[in-house]
Amino acid sequence: MASDNSAFAHGEWHPPGSSRSVASGLVEAGERLVASDETGAELAGGSLTAIEISPRVGRISRRVTFPDGSLFETNDNDAIDRFLSRKGRSGAGLVHWLERFHPRLVAFVVATILLGALIYRYALPALVEVAVAVTPPIVPRIMSASTLETMDRTLLGETKLDDARRGKIVDGFRRIAALSAAGEAAYTLNFREGGPIGPNAFALPDGTLIVTDELVELVGNDTEMIVGVLAHEIGHVEHEHSLRQIYRAAGVAALIMLIAGDIGSGAEDVLVEGGGLLALSHSRAAEAEADRHSVELMMKAGRDPTAIARFFELLETKLDDHSDTSIFSTHPGTPERRKAILELIAELRKG
């Protein structure tokens, strides 16, 4: 006789070949496993090696089959698993493991990641080109105003350059802007203290150009170098690089929110505004195209076309900038780019 108080699982016992059920408990009695009724009387029992316990399959009742053919059923799967674990036996079958592992969910996540990668690699660039083609003029102006406002609020400060120094740069800028495809009226030059951005210059989609005080201080009295950098930025605008990058950043943010679901308004603001700032950096292909534009525009204006190459050399020597060093490194001063620019100048002069 076994005490019901020691039962570790409760359920129903069925005699051999009968549908009759008796409320009972499963009791561990030394090396034996016993099914006992409410009075503690043994209904069936046997050694663990002679008893068959069904593997766990989700929430389906477990069956304990005794040597005499009687059957004990219980929904207390966790209790059976704990008992088997104490005895050094696995309680969960493969099906239950797969159920807990949620293979369908894993497959869905993998499929979502692959779909997102395909959209990013193939669909997004195509959609960006379509968006650029159908964008009305007012949109780049709105985008640029919003981006500059965000940067003025979070990163940039008022310029501290004196009027004479700014005037010299503006004069050189106007001369090359007048020779651009859109003309001088299409561009506006702004001076700002760079703060965390440091020495830099960048262009917004509507032709708004920004030069930081730190860049002006870095080049010293070499105004030609700054003019070459501004010619490079005009190239970004004329080839619509900035507009493409903003659309691309917005597309990536939308893709992340589509996959991640509701990430909260704060996170959405970070994605959108951060995407706008990241859009100020360009691909190497876009940078090479803008480099060529700088050389061609400087030569057209009768100015020194090597100015942009000297700028990259300056970044290499003074800032040790030999590669993309940060998210704001929109003009990585690599030796390869400088070499390519000098080779382009030689090629154009021969032609």
Among the residue ranges 87-101, 136-150, 182-196, 241-255, the one predicted with the least confidence is 87-101
DSSP letter at 56 equals: B
User: What's residue 275's pLDDT?
Assistant: 46
Confidence of residue 117 (pLDDT cuts 50, 70, 90): confident
pLDDT of 99 > 80? The answer is: no
Distance CA 310, CA 317 (A): 10
pLDDT in tens, 142-162: 989 998 999 999 999 999 999
Query: Distance between CA 295 and CA 306 in Å, rounded?
Result: 7
Distance of CA 307 to the CA centre of its chain: 36
Contact 259, 112 (CB under 8 A): yes
Please, which pLDDT band fits residue 266 given cuts at 50, 70 and 90?
Answer: very low
Q: Which range, 75-89, 110-124, 225-239, 275-289, is most confident?
A: 225-239
Over the stretch 43-59, which tens digit does the pLDDT of each residue have?
999 988 888 888 887 77
* Separation of alpha carbons 284 and 294, rounded Å: 15
- Three-state secondary-structure class, residue 235: helix
Task: Say if residue 124's pLDDT is above 60.
Answer: yes
Task: Supply the DSSP string of 305-319, one letter for each residue.
Answer: TTHHHHHHHHHHHHH
Backbone angles phi, psi at 37, to 5 degrees: -85, -170
Q: Is the pLDDT of residue 2 over 60?
A: no
Q: 186-194 long-range CB contacts below 8 Å, 24 or more apart?
A: 186/237, 187/234, 187/237, 189/230, 190/148, 191/159, 191/161, 191/166, 191/216, 192/151, 192/152, 192/156, 192/157, 192/158, 192/159, 193/156, 193/157, 193/158, 193/159, 193/160, 194/155, 194/156
pLDDT of residue 83: 87
Q: Of how many residues is the chain composed?
A: 351
Q: In what order do the strands lie in the sheet with 42-47?
A: 42-47, 32-37, 22-29, 7-14, 71-74, 62-65, 52-53
Residue 273, helix vs strand vs coil: helix
Contact 230, 201 (CB under 8 A): yes
The C-alpha atoms of residue 170 and residue 177 are separated, in whole angstroms, by: 10
Give the tens place of pLDDT for each residue, 58-93. Answer: 778 889 999 999 999 999 988 888 888 887 765 454
The fraction of the chain above a pLDDT of 90, given in percent, is 44
SS3 261: coil
CA terminus-to-terminus distance, the chain: 108
Q: How far is CA 221 from the centre of its chain?
A: 41
Which distant-in-sequence residues (6+ apart) come within 8 Å of 153 by Cβ? none
